[in-house]
Chain A
Amino acid sequence: MELLAFGDTGWGDELFYATLMTIAVSITAMFIGFLFALIFTPLKLSKNKFLNFIANSYTTIIRGVPELLVIYLFFFGGTGAVMFVASIFGYNEYIEINAFITGAFAIGIISGAYSTEVFRGAIQSIDKGQFEAANVLGLNKFGKFFKIILPQTLRLAIPNLSNVWQITLKDTSLISVTGLVEIMRQSYVAAGSTRDPLFFYSFAAVLYLLLTFISMKLINRLEVKYSRGY
Chain B
Amino acid sequence: MDLELMVNSFPKLLSAAVITLKLLSVSLIIGLFIGLFFAILRLNKNIFINKLAYVYSYVFRGTPLLVQIFIIYFGLGQIEYLRSTVLWVILKEPYWCAIIAFALNTGAYTSEILRSAFQTIKPGIIEAGKSLGISNKVVFYKIQIPIAIRQSLPAYGNEIILMMKGTSLASTVTIMDLTGVAKYIISTTFKPIEVFIVAGGIYLFMTFIIHNAIKFLEKKHSFN
A201 within 8 Å of B by Cβ?
A: yes
Tell which of B63, B179, B193 touches A66, judged by Cβ atoms closer than 8 Å: B179
Is B71 within 8 A of A77, CB to CB?
A: no
Of residues 175 through 204 on chain A, the ones whose CB sits less than 8 Å from some CB of chain B are 176-177, 184, 187-188, 191, 195-198, 201-202, 204
B33 within 8 Å of A by Cβ?
A: no
Residues in A with CB closer than 8 Å to B64 are 170-171, 173-174, 184, 208
Q: What CA separation (Å) do A171 and B169 show in the bound complex?
A: 11
- Interface 9-residue window, one of B46-54, B136-144, B196-204: B196-204
Q: How many residues of A contact B (CB 8 A)?
A: 37
Is A64 within 8 A of B207, CB to CB?
A: yes
Question: Nearest-CB distance from A176 to chain B (Å)?
Answer: 7
Q: What CA separation (Å) do A191 and B76 show in the bound complex?
A: 13
| Cβ proximity bits B5-17 to A, threshold 8 Å, 1 near / 0 not | 0000000000000
Is A77 within 8 A of B193, CB to CB?
A: yes
Residues in A with CB closer than 8 Å to B186 are 72, 76
Residues in A with CB closer than 8 Å to B167 are 66
Question: Nearest-CB distance from A54 to chain B (Å)?
Answer: 16
Residues in B with CB closer than 8 Å to A76 are 186-187, 190, 192
B18 within 8 Å of A by Cβ?
A: no
Residues in B with CB closer than 8 Å to A91 are none
| Number of CB contacts from chain A to chain B under 8 A | 112
Is A170 within 8 A of B179, CB to CB?
A: no
Q: What CA separation (Å) do A66 and B63 show in the bound complex?
A: 18
Is A173 within 8 A of B66, CB to CB?
A: yes
B25 within 8 Å of A by Cβ?
A: no
Closest to B166 in A: A66
Question: Nearest-CB distance from B113 to chain A (Å)?
Answer: 14
Q: A201-B70, A201-B71, A202-B71 are in contact. Are A69 and B63 (CB under 8 A)?
A: no
Q: What CA separation (Å) do A73 and B196 show in the bound complex?
A: 7
Tell which of A73, A196, A205 touches B63, judged by Cβ atoms closer than 8 Å: A205
Q: What CA separation (Å) do A223 and B166 show in the bound complex?
A: 30
| Cβ proximity bits B186-218 to A, threshold 8 Å, 1 near / 0 not | 110010110010011001100110000000000
Q: What CA separation (Å) do A230 and B179 show in the bound complex?
A: 46
Residues in B with CB closer than 8 Å to A188 are 70
Q: A72-B192, A73-B193 are in contact. Are A197 and B75 (CB under 8 A)?
A: yes
Closest to A76 in B: B192
Is B200 within 8 A of A72, CB to CB?
A: no
Of residues 197 through 222 on chain A, the ones whose CB sits less than 8 Å from some CB of chain B are 197-198, 201-202, 204-205, 208-209, 212-213
Residues in B with CB closer than 8 Å to A125 are none
Is B200 within 8 A of A208, CB to CB?
A: no
Is B67 within 8 A of A201, CB to CB?
A: yes
Tell which of B67, B78, B196, B207 touches A173, judged by Cβ atoms closer than 8 Å: B67
Is A197 within 8 A of B78, CB to CB?
A: yes
Of residues 110 through 131 on chain B, the ones whose CB sits less than 8 Å from some CB of chain A are none
Q: A61-B200, A64-B161, A64-B207 are in contact. Are A69 and B182 (CB under 8 A)?
A: yes
14 interchain pairs, CB-CB under 8 A:
A63-B161, A68-B171, A69-B182, A69-B199, A72-B186, A77-B193, A80-B192, A173-B66, A177-B172, A184-B66, A187-B70, A198-B76, A204-B70, A213-B62
The 9 nearest A-B residue pairs measured at CB: A66-B168, A198-B75, A77-B192, A173-B64, A64-B207, A197-B74, A76-B192, A170-B64, A66-B165
